[in-house]
Structure 1
C-alpha cells in the first residue's frame, strides 16, 4: 500500500520532514512504474523520448550523486551512468524490478546519511565538490533532491496517464 501524502504538522524535526517527503515521492515514483509491462516501462509516449524506467534510473543516480558522491565525497562508480548520448539511459539487460530496488536502496542510504549529520554540515571536498566556497550544505542538497523527486513524480503521473489512463493525485 502506498504511503499517504504527508500532511504538514507541528513537527520542528526538519530532517524528519525532509525524509518523510522524500520517502513519499520515492514511493510515488516506484508506484507509477510498478505493474507496467516491460514494454510499457521501456517505451515512451512523449516527444522527448524518455521512458519511465529511464526516469527511475535517473533519480537513483541523481540521489547518489548528491548524497554519496556530493555530500559525503565518496567515490562512486560512473556517477553519470544514467546518461548516454545526452539522454537518460538504462542498460537493456537491467530488469525494471532491479531498477526499482536500486531506487529503494538509494533511499535507505540517504536516510542513513541525513540522520547521521546536522543539516548545516557542508558537503565534503574531493567528490562532486572541489571549491570550498561553493559546496552546499546538507539542507541545500535535501531541498534540491526533494524538488527533483516532486517534479519527476509529476512527469511520471502524466506518462502513466498516457500509457494506460491511470491518474495520480
Structure 2
C-alpha cells in the first residue's frame, strides 16, 4: 500500500522566503498577521465570537474591533493625518465591547475597511516617509517614519494574535496555526 505524501510545514510564515526588501517584509508580515487573526476566528459560533472569554474579559470579536481602531489611529490619523475620530467616545470599554445591535458581519466589514484604507496609504509610501502633521502628530519631532509605524503595528498584531490563541484554547481547545 502506498503511503500518503507527508505534509511538509512551511519553513517560514509570512512573505516568501526570497523577500528581502524591508518595506515588502513589513507589509507582508502585517498582512500575514491580519490573515491569522481571521483564521483564528474560523469555526467559532456567533455566540463564541461575542462572549467575553474569562478570565481575559474580552471577546474575540471585541479584539477584531480593537484592531480596527488601532489601524485607524496609527495609519489614518497617525501616518495620514486624517481628521477622523481616533477613539470611540466610550474609551477602552467601547473599543473592546461589541454593541448588541452591531452584527458580527459589520464588525468584520468595518475592520476590513480600515485595513483597506491603511493598505492604500502604506503601499505607495517609503519606509523613511514621516507621518504627516496635523493628525496624531503635531510637530516634526513627534512624527515617526512609516517604518516605525509599521513595526509598531506588526508587534501589536503579533501580541494580540497570541492573545487570541489563548482565548481560542479557552473557548474550544483549538491551538496553534
Provide TM-score, normalisation by structure 1.
0.88
RMSD: 2.0
How far apart in 1 are the matches of 2:118 and 2:15?
22
- Match in the other structure for 1:97: 105
- Match in the other structure for 2:167: 159
The count of corresponding residues between Structure 1 and Structure 2 is 165
Structure 2 gaps, min length 5:
1-11
- Match in the other structure for 1:51: 59
- Match in the other structure for 2:20: 12
From 71, 89, 92, the equivalent of 1:63 is 71
Residue 136 (structure 1) aligned with residue 149 (structure 2):
no
**4+ residue stretches of structure 1 with deviation over 6 A?**
none
User: Which entry has the higher C-alpha Rg, 1 or 2?
Assistant: 2
- Match in the other structure for 1:123: 131
The 8 Å contact of residues 22 and 146 in structure 1, kept in 2 or not, is answered as: yes
Provide TM-score, normalisation by structure 2.
0.84
Structure 1 gaps, min length 5:
none
How far apart in 1 are the matches of 2:95 and 2:22?
34
